[in-house]
Amino acid sequence: MEKKYKLIFDTLEKMHENAVCELNYDTDFHLLVAVILSAQCTDARVNKITPKLFEKYKTPEDMASADIDELKELIKSCGFYNAKANSIISASRDIVEKYNSRLPENVDELMKLKGVGRKTANVVYSVAFKGNAIAVDTHVLRVSYRLGLSSQNKNPLITEKDLNAKFDENLWGKLHHLLIHHGRYICKARKPDCKICELKNQCKYFNGELKSE
C-alpha cells in the first residue's frame, strides 16, 4: 500500500476514533433488516424503529410470515416502506427456505437474497462476519472522490474497486466506517468542515484540483 494512502487511513483513524456501525442490532439477521431499512434514511431514525420491530419479529421465520401491512406500519417513518417491507419479507423467506434460517456468510450468496444489493451485502459481510469488504454509500462515494481515492463519484462499483486497489485488504472494513463517519460529521455534502479537517493537504477538493462534483 502506498504511503500516501496509509497516511490518509491513519489520519482518518485519528480523527474518528469511535467509527463503528451506528445501527443497533442484536443478531446477524436483525443487522440485515436494519441495513435494508437504512437506505435513504438516517441510522438514528432506523434505531428508533428497530426496538419494537425486533421485539415483534425475532427470527427470519417470524419475519417470513409477517403480515405485510403490520410490517409497513412499524417501518413507515423510515421512507420507501412499501419496497423495504417487500425486501425484508422476501429476503427472510429466502433465508428460511434456501439457507436453513441462517444468513449466508459471503457477499455473493448474500446478494442472492431478494431485496439485498451489493451495498447491503457488503455491510453485513463486513460488520456481522468481520469480512473484508467496503460498502459504498453516498458518503463513501463523495469523500473518496474529494480525497482523490476515486476518479469519479457516480458509480459505487468503480469507487469500491478503486478503494480495493489502494488499501490493504485487512483495512477495508474499518475504512468503510471511517469514510462514512468523515462524510457524516465533517466532509458533509453541502458544507464540508474543511477548517477542522486534518486531510487538507491530501484533499483534491480543498486544493481546487477537481473539475466538478
Query: Any idea which residues carry the catalytic annotation?
Result: 119, 137
Minimum CB separation of residue 73 from ligand SF4 in Å reads: 39
Minimum CB separation of residue 191 from ligand SF4 in Å reads: 9
Q: Please identify which residue in 74, 111, 197, 210 interacts with ligand SF4, judged by CB under 6 A.
A: 197
| 200 is a site residue for ligand SF4 (CB under 6 A) | yes
Q: Rule CB under 6 A: which of 118-177 touch ligand SF4?
A: 146-147
CA distance 110 to 98: 11
Size of the residue set binding ligand SF4 (CB under 6 A): 13
| 199 is a site residue for ligand SF4 (CB under 6 A) | yes
Which of the stretches 26-34, 84-92, 94-102, 188-196 binds ligand SF4 when contact is defined by CB under 6 A?
188-196
**Which residues in this chain contact ligand SF4 in the complex, by CB under 6 A?**
146-147, 186-187, 192-194, 197, 199-200, 203, 205-206
